[in-house]
Amino acid sequence: MNKRKIAFVASDVPIAQAARSELAGLYDHVPPEEADVIVALGGDGYMLHTLHMHMAAGIPVYGMNRGTVGFMMNEYNTDKLEGRLDRAEAVELFPLRMSATKMNGEIEEAIAINEVSVFRETRQAAKLKILVDGIERMESLVCDGIIVATPAGSTAYNLSAYGPIVPTNANVLALTPISPFRPRRWRGALLPQQAVVTLVAHDPAKRPVSAVADATEIRDVQTVTISEDRSLHATILFDPEHAMEERILKEQFTA
């Protein structure tokens, strides 16, 4: 059996760089483009960055926490890494594709593993029309913004905006408003994973909005269309004792 080829990558913070140097001194390693598996050292933000960088190549990523937040990461330990990789359980994440039409008519696209968000740009609240699969579901939502979150992203910004936590095998997307003013009591919706969500900005010259797919921001948008892209997937690896499904379940019982 051929030995697994491992690549080590790390965020810029000193603790992550020190961990990379330590692991590189203990284990044979190759550049990421030659690897069978990538070990990412940092926090959840760096894990998302690594998944985006290597999603097209289909290389699985095993994270170890050397950052501030580690929901998508495993515990940092230099011992028996190859055995941990052999036992790791794979979770496939299907990203969202965002297509944003700007006020000048330009169209830009981006991919999101966690969520696509639309935000107000100024003191004026955003005023958005919501369509699902081409059917108008809400003529006007006055708010700070709105989130379309994947199951993987449901425990991130979506949760901070009081959106629902979604198990990765639930096959749904979370649609969550951010500080809704009208209708004040609306708290969002759960949509089938194949749903196509279209958000249209009312009067974007007066109430400009931006669209953000993970770390990619597009400003001054008029229409944003969001759907799951099954032509792409990211593979993330977890230790069996820290499986992602268990973490999501536990998060639902956290006060």
DSSP annotation string for the chain:
-PPPPEEEEE-SSHHHHHHHHHHHHHS----GGG-SEEEEEE-HHHHHHHHHHHTTTT--EEEEE-SS--TT-BPP--TTHHHHHHHPEEEEEPPEEEEEEETTS-EEEEEESSEEEEEE-SSSPEEEEEEETTEEEEEEEEESEEEEE-TGGGGTHHHHTTPPP--TTS-EEEEEEES--BTTT---EEEETT--EEEEESSTTTS-EEEEETTEEE-SEEEEEEEE-TT--EEEEE-GGG-HHHHHHHHTT--
Query: What pLDDT sits at residue 71?
Result: 86
Residue with more model confidence, 55 or 253: 55
Residue 68: pLDDT band (50, 70, 90) is confident
Compute the distance between CA of residue 250 and CA of residue 241 in angstroms, rounded to an integer.
Answer: 13
Looking at the predicted structure, is the pLDDT value of residue 249 above 90?
no
- Annotated catalytic residue within 44, 79, 144, 214: 44
Looking at the predicted structure, is the pLDDT value of residue 235 above 80?
yes
Q: pLDDT tens digit string along 82-128?
A: 999 999 999 999 999 999 999 999 999 999 999 999 999 999 999 99
Q: Which residues contact 119 (CB under 8 A, 6 or more apart)?
A: 126, 144, 145, 178, 209, 210, 211, 212
Residue with more model confidence, 3 or 255: 3
Compute the distance between CA of residue 81 and CA of residue 91 in angstroms, rounded to an integer.
Answer: 19
6-93+233-251 placed in CATH 3.40.50.10330:
yes
Looking at the predicted structure, is the pLDDT value of residue 250 above 90?
no
pTM: 0.92
Looking at the predicted structure, is the pLDDT value of residue 141 above 90?
yes
Could you tell me the residue ranges of all domains in the chain? 6-93+233-251, 96-228
| Pair 61, 235: CB distance under 8 Å | yes
Q: Among candidates 110, 115, 100, which has minimal Cα distance to 44?
A: 115
- Sign of the CA dihedral running 198, 215, 53, 9: negative
Compute the distance between CA of residue 42 and CA of residue 71 in angstroms, rounded to an integer.
Answer: 11
The residue behind tokens 């198990």 is: 167
Query: What pLDDT sits at residue 246?
Result: 83
Looking at the predicted structure, is the pLDDT value of residue 1 above 60?
no
The beta-carbon contacts of 130-137 under 8 Å, at least 24 apart in sequence, are: 130/175, 130/197, 130/198, 130/199, 131/197, 131/198, 131/199, 131/200, 132/191, 132/195, 132/196, 132/197, 132/198, 133/195, 133/196, 134/196, 134/198, 137/189
Looking at the predicted structure, is the pLDDT value of residue 2 above 90?
no
Q: pLDDT tens digit string along 70-80?
A: 889 999 999 99
Looking at the predicted structure, is the pLDDT value of residue 255 above 70?
no
Looking at the predicted structure, is the pLDDT value of residue 239 above 90?
yes
| Pair 113, 153: CB distance under 8 Å | yes
The CATH class given to the 96-228 domain equals: mainly beta
- Is 44 a known active-site residue? yes
